[in-house]
Amino acid sequence: MDSLSRRRLLQLLPAAAAATSLPRVEAQVPANQPLAAVARAPRPAKEVRAIWIHPEQHTDADEKTGRAQIKATVDRYARANFNLILPWTVSGYLAALEHEEYRADHPTARWDWLGYLIEEASKSGLEVDMWYSFTDYRDPKSPEFNPAIGGSPAWMAKRIDELRPNQTVMELDKRVDNVCPQHYQARQWMQAQLERTIARYPKLHGLHLEEPGYGTRGYCLCELCNTVFAQLHGRPLIDSLETPQAEDFRTLGNSAMVEELRKQLSDKHPNMLLSANGGHDWRHDRIRGRDWGRWGAAGWLRYYVPQVYVSDLGIFREQLALTLDDIGRSCPVYAGMALDSTSGKNTIQNIAQQIETARDLGAPGVALFHGAAFTDEHLEVLRNGVFKRPA
């Protein structure tokens, strides 16, 4: 690719016009300086009590056994007075609903655990927002990269250590496979898959985006990113990855995807909620293209969940308060907290205190990570304490 026409560049950056109304991100933004609010998403009518779960990992491939497990899962959270379930769903599973070749890796697609969960949750008065990543958690066999079903290997993101194996510029995560959303064709492919998914599940309440951005700071150095960045800035992207210009550039495809999904839902499914999760500080998350501060301030998200995965109550309060100060006036912020995560372990007593702290700070909801970590005894503590009364 030697050059790009203006029209092709605008196809790559369809959110560029919208971004001009959002606050400019400076390298040294004071940590206590909130983003300028330009829109407002409505607060929920009642306190949201959400839980992230991984049903495909914990569900038997046998339909009878698997259905019983899904029903038991829904019943557990309904009894504990949760009202929102966020089930982890990968694009490979969605492809398996339509293509036999993906069912070996996703055998529960043969009887559709997700559809069954949505139906059971609906009967129990719980809403379901499908938890999905449009960039991360891919492998070379992911449907986005399969030309036989409309994907392309060119959409796979490339990172610095793939081009410079001995690089020492930045620390990198071990996971290497991402989709590069700078490719508008990749975004269109995923949006079409999600549109078919929404049509399949009319009772689906929303789409919840997992950390929308790259898995590490070393992304993306695919041919398209290299070409466009050089045209914009006159120097190689690989030698500029830690510059403010490269940071801004990494946000473009991710912002385009979020804005396009927002419009897709607004135009075709106005009752569906678009939401996301990520860190508590948007300034730090931007280095991986996660520009949720702008998205929240622009009103593109119906809610945002900062993953405040700490056990210290003072730190929890400080970090959650920063997110609320940044976007809480324009976008409902549900406090994310973890009983067990890669950041460490917590106690159910601490979780209960953090829920009370989130309420005290004015957060209209909470989201707990993750379902498999919560025993029946843990749920009983919540049901008899901070969740004693239904929301």
Domains observed in the chain? 46-139+182-216+228-384 (3.20.20.80)
Taking the C-alpha atoms of residue 166 and residue 286, their distance in angstroms, rounded to an integer, is: 25
Q: In what order do the strands lie in the sheet with 334-338?
A: 303-306, 273-278, 206-209, 127-132, 84-87, 48-53, 365-369, 334-338
Burial pattern 154-181, b for ≥16 Cβ within 10 A else e, equals ebbbbbbbeeeeeeeeeebeeebbbbbb
Would you state the pLDDT for residue 172? 63
Would you state the pLDDT for residue 40? 82
Would you state the pLDDT for residue 112? 98
User: Low-confidence residues of the chain, pLDDT below 70?
Assistant: 1-39, 168-176
Would you state the pLDDT for residue 268? 97
Q: Is the pTM of this model over 0.85?
A: yes
Would you state the pLDDT for residue 168? 63
Cβ–Cβ < 8 Å for 34, 70: no
Would you state the pLDDT for residue 279? 97
